[in-house]
Amino acid sequence: MSPYRILVTGAAGFIGFHLSKQLLGKGFEVMGLDNMNDYYDVGLKESRLAILEKSGNFSFSKIDLHNKQAIDNLFATKKFDYVVNLAAQAGVRYSLTNPYAYLESNLTGFLNILEACRHHPVKHLIYASSSSVYGANRKMPFSVHDNVDHPLALYAVTKKSNELMAHAYSNLYHIPTTGLRFFTVYGPYGRPDMALFLFTKAILDGKPIDVFNYGKMRRDFTYVDDIVEGIVRLIPNPPPGNPTWNGENPNPASSFAPYKIYNIGNNQPVELLHFIEVLETKLGKKAIKNLLPLQEGDVPETYADVDDLMQDVGFKPSTSIETGIGNFVNWYKEYYKMK
C-alpha cells in the first residue's frame, strides 16, 4: 500500500488525468472523482479513465462536487492525506452563455471540498485557479504579488473567489491551501474546446479556423507535463504561513495563514499566429484562417512570472511549443485513427 492516499477531483479531465497518471507512476494511491458531464466528448473522458483504471492503485467515484452528502461520505470513509481539486466548469466563452453552471461547480462545489477538508483534515489542499484572474491587468509578466480585482468574465470571477474562499478556510481552520494559476495548458488528451484541438481538427478536415484578435493574441502556452510536475512538487510542500506578512502592505500571494498562490506558466508568451505556424509545420498542412476581432471576455496577452515556483520547489516549465505541439499532433493522429 502507498503511504499516501490522494484525492484528485476532475480525474477524467485533461490535467486531472495526466496528474493521476504521474502520481500512480510514483506509487501513490489515487482516488479519482469526476461527474463525467457532457461539456465535451464523454468518450475522451472515458478513454482517459480506462488508462488510469489499469493501475491497481487507482479507484474512481462518479460524483458531482455540488453533491455535499456524497463528498462528505467520501472524505469520511477514505481519509485522504492530500487533495488536488481540479474539477470545475471550464472555459471562458462558455461562461458568457451558461453562467449558472459556473456558480454550481466552481463555487458550491469548491465550498463542499473546503468543508470536507475542515471536518476530515488533510495535510494539503491544492486547487486550480487560472491566469484569467489577471483580467484587465496589463503589467507584464503577471505576478502573484499584484492585485487581481478586474476580472473580464464570470469564469475568472469564480476562480478568484476560490482563492478568497481558500484563504478564509486557511485562516479559520488552519487548512494548508495552495492555489495554482494555470496558463493556457495544452498537450495529448487535451480538451476539444481548446484552440489547439479545434485548430488541428479543422486543418486536417480542410475547414477554416477562427483566429481571434487577428492572430495578435499572445499566450503563455504551457505543456501539460510541466503543469503536472509543478503540482507533484508542491503536494508535499504545504505552505506554513508567512511570519513576515504585513497587513499594512499586504502581499496577495501569501498570508499569515497557511495559504499560497503560484503561477504555473511557460514564462515565454507566443503569438497566436506563430503557434498556428508551428502547428501547420507539424501537420504538414496549411490552415485556412478566418481572422476575427478580440472576443468579449478574452485578454490580449498572458505572461507568467514563475519566480516563486522556482524559488520554493526549484522548478519552472520549459517545454517548447515545437516539442509540445509535436507530441499533441502525434497523439491526435494515433487516437482518432483508432476511433
The pLDDT tens digits of the residues spanning 39-92 come to 889 999 999 999 999 999 999 999 999 999 999 999 999 999 999 999 877 666
* pLDDT of 95 above 90: no
Phi/psi at 191 (nearest 5 deg)?
A: -75, 135
* pLDDT score, position 101: 79
Q: What's the grid cell of residue 224? A: 501539460
Neighbours of 236 (CB within 10 A): 12
> Which element (helix H / strand E) includes 248?
none
Region 267-275: mean pLDDT is 94
* pLDDT score, position 2: 55
Q: What's the grid cell of residue 201? A: 481538427
Do residues 164 and 269 lie in contact, with contact meaning Cβ atoms separated by under 8 Å? no
Mean pLDDT of the chain: 93
Maximum Cα interatomic distance, the chain, rounded to a whole number of Å: 59
Q: Which of the following is catalytic: 102, 134, 155, 186?
A: 155
Alpha helices per DSSP H over 64-222 = 68-78, 94-97, 99-102, 109-119, 154-173, 195-204
- Quick check: is 155 catalytic? yes
Give the whole-angstrom CA distance, residue 281 versus residue 325: 10
What SS3 class is residue 79?
Answer: coil
Of 5, 69, 6, 3, nearest to 228 by C-alpha is 6
Question: pLDDT exceeding 90 applies to what percent of the chain?
Answer: 85
Q: What is the CA radius of gyration of the chain?
A: 19
Give the whole-angstrom CA distance, residue 142 versus residue 180: 13
Q: Rounded to an integer, what is the distance from CA 49 to the centroid of its chain?
A: 18
* pLDDT of 13 above 90: yes
Which amino acid is located at 17 in the chain? F
338 pLDDT band, cuts 50/70/90, is: low
* pLDDT score, position 38: 85
* pLDDT score, position 39: 80
